[in-house]
Structure 1
Amino acid sequence: MAESTSAAASPPAPTLVVHRGSCHCKAVLFEFDGRRDLVQIECNCSICRMKRNVHTIVPGSRFRLLQGEDMLTLYTFNTHTAQHLFCKRCGVQAFFIPRNNPDGYAVTVACIDPATFDSIQTETFDGQNWE
């Protein structure tokens, strides 16, 4: 009698699209690979709350800075793990490297070309009480 094994079918990998974005003056241009339906994070930590920043998390391997590295200025505080990058010309923070995900990027949703996504789901993150 032959023994048969059935492997569980794994779900197909999500289809990724190229999202493009920039700061306000277009000195800083970036792109990343992500789903058409984005998840944005609303964080209540002190800096996100004061900036009213809502962002989507992108793995570092899927993020590409296309232009403007020389136009970025850095702000850090507290543990100096998070790297808050701003355009020197217009002051917009198109993305930053978050403390809770230092191998990725937190991309400001308002800086992403809206033609590249279909929908946005909002999740909250309690950054004020994290750790």
Structure 2
Amino acid sequence: MCAKKGFLHLIVRAEHFELLSGADALTTYEFNTRVAKHHFCRHCGIHSFYVPRSDPDKIDVNVRCLDGVDPAALRITPFDGRHWEESMARHVPWR
């Protein structure tokens, strides 16, 4: 699913995340361990952001949902969403 969705991940610390509007339009999906919290627009279904199970003190934002941000202008680091755990183990976050 992650390979087909087109989610462009921008992972930020939870304390640096602020949802400015639209909270009333969100619905949340949890499964398995219920640690990950996936937030979707209840009207159009876009997966806007979530709390990752592998890093629950962070928020993973879908860059494609940010107004005024051109994804083509960003430095993108390839990530294998089909093998999430292995990819997270190899991933070196930049600061």
* TM-score of the superposed pair, with normalisation by structure 2: 0.71
What is the SS of the residue equivalent to 1:56?
strand
* Alignment counterpart, residue 124 of structure 1, candidates 59, 63, 79: 79
* 2:95 equivalent to 1:95: no
Greater helix share, structure number:
2
Aligned equivalents of 2:19, 2:69: Cα separation in 1: 18
Between 1:80-89 and 1:106-115, the stretch displaced more is 106-115
| Pair 102,48 (structure 1): closer, same or farther in 2 beyond 3 Å | same
Residue aligning to 1:65: 19
Aligned equivalents of 2:3, 2:34: Cα separation in 1: 18
What is the SS of the residue equivalent to 2:45?
coil
1:128 Cα deviation from its structure 2 partner: 5.3
Per-residue deviation, residues 33-91 of structure 1 (Å, max 9, x unmatched): xxxxxxxxxxxxxx423523221101111110111222111111121111011011111
Q: How many residues align structurally?
A: 85
Aligned equivalents of 1:128, 1:119: Cα separation in 2: 24
Q: Rg bigger for which structure? A: 1
Greater strand share, structure number:
1
User: Structure 2 matches for 1:1-20, cutoff 5 A?
Assistant: none
* TM-score of the superposed pair, with normalisation by structure 1: 0.54
Per-residue deviation, residues 85-109 of structure 1 (Å, max 9, x unmatched): 1011111111111111111110112
What is the aligned-residue RMSD (CA, Å)?
A: 2.6
The answer for unaligned runs of 5 or more in structure 2 is 90-95
Identity of aligned residues (%): 37
